């Protein structure tokens, strides 16, 4: 559903939580007014949650507040990132991409880029041990998926012999830019396209005077090591929860706005993720 020109999604069965579909890439500047519009739209949700803009880390509102951990790279200059923030190993990976013939350049959004993206997505039905949501999508669907925020987005493509082997979608928002998509072909990983893409993204952001590059949430698993190696750090930003009906007030007071998985110890979650990865590998082996 649309509220004040922003798309809203609702998740959860026991406690229905509404949020911006593209949170972090767009924000709520006047939350009191937005919540009033949301209530008038009758979303059949109990609670609305939103995050404060990354550049404003001091809490501004008096709603129920918790903290999100996200991965953010502080950018002073490209030279500073290259010489002081990353390790020799990461620099060598970027150099390897160049020696292997990988070229990273800005790409106009259009049918050619979407066909290249589809080729990357259709390489494997699994990514990071779980079914890949973009696998097998048709060109029209993929074009609609990636055309969002086009007026403030840039695409970087990593090419090997004119084959698109990886890409980044950067969404700019003042002093903050977001890595909305970064992915490359599994079969071309030895050419280090992702390392080269990150380097070019940092160079581009530094040239625009961007202070922070945001790369999804902070995690100690999966891409966590990759983020750390490229000088991304954990940053806590305010997340607010606003009850929009009586049920929402009760749910929030009882802390029922969290998913069940949030209450489990990390060791148990890691065990489940490892089991899921192995199961999916067997399931999709054929």
What CATH number does the domain located at 76-210 have? 3.40.630.30
* pLDDT tier at 271, thresholds 50, 70, 90: confident
Q: What percent of the chain has pLDDT over 70?
A: 92
Domain ranges in the chain are: 2-67+238-283, 76-210
The tokens for 132 are 């890949």
User: pTM here?
Assistant: 0.88
Interval 191-219 mean pLDDT? 96
Buried b (16+ CB within 10 A) or exposed e, 126-154: bbebeebebeebeeeebbeebeebeeebb
Tell me which of 55 and 116 has the higher pLDDT: 116
Q: Is the pLDDT of residue 286 over 60?
A: no
Q: Is the pLDDT of residue 104 over 80?
A: yes
CA atoms of 4 and 38, how far apart (whole Å): 8
pLDDT in tens, 85-95: 999 999 999 99
Tell me which of 2 and 283 has the higher pLDDT: 2
Q: DSSP per residue over 86-123, as a string? A: S-HHHHHHHHHHHHTTEEEEEE--SHHHHHHHHHHHTT
Taking the alpha carbons of 232, 234, 237, 239 in that order, is the dihedral positive or negative? positive
* pLDDT tier at 258, thresholds 50, 70, 90: confident
At CB < 8 A and 24+ separation, what contacts does 179-186 make? 179/213, 179/214, 179/215, 179/216, 180/25, 180/149, 180/153, 181/146, 182/215, 183/120, 183/121, 183/127, 184/120, 184/158, 185/119, 185/120, 185/123, 186/123, 186/124
Interval 214-226 mean pLDDT? 82
- Burial (Cβ within 10 Å: 0-12, 13-18, ≥19) of residue 96: middle
């Amino acid at each position: 559903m649309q509220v004040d020109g922003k798309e809203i999604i609702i998740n959860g069965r026991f406690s229905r939580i509404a949020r911006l579909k593209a949170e972090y890439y767009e924000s709520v500047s006047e939350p009191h007014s937005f919540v009033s519009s949301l209530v008038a739209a009758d979303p059949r949700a109990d609670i609305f949650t939103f995050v404060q803009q990354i550049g404003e880390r001091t809490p501004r509102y008096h709603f129920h507040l918790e903290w999100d951990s996200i991965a953010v790279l502080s950018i002073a200059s490209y030279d500073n990132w290259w010489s002081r923030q990353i390790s020799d190993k990461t620099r060598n990976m970027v150099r390897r991409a160049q020696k292997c013939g990988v070229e990273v350049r800005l790409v106009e959004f259009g049918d050619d880029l979407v066909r290249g993206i589809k080729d990357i997505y259709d390489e494997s039905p699994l990514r990071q041990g779980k079914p890949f949501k973009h696998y097998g999508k048709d060109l029209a669907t993929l074009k609609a998926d990636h055309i969002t925020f086009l007026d403030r987005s840039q695409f970087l493509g990593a090419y090997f012999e004119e084959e698109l082997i990886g890409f980044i979608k950067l969404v700019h928002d003042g002093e903050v830019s977001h890595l909305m998509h970064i992915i490359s072909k599994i079969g071309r990983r030895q050419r280090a396209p992702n390392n080269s893409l990150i380097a070019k993204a940092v160079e581009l952001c530094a040239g625009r005077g961007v202070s922070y590059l945001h790369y999804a949430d902070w995690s100690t698993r999966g891409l966590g090591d990759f983020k750390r190696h490229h000088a991304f750090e954990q940053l806590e930003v305010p997340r607010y929860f606003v009850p929009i009906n009586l049920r929402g007030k009760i749910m929030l007071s009882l802390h029922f706005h969290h998913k069940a998985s949030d209450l489990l110890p990390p060791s148990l979650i890691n065990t489940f993720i490892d089991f899921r990865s192995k199961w999916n590998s067997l399931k999709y082996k054929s």
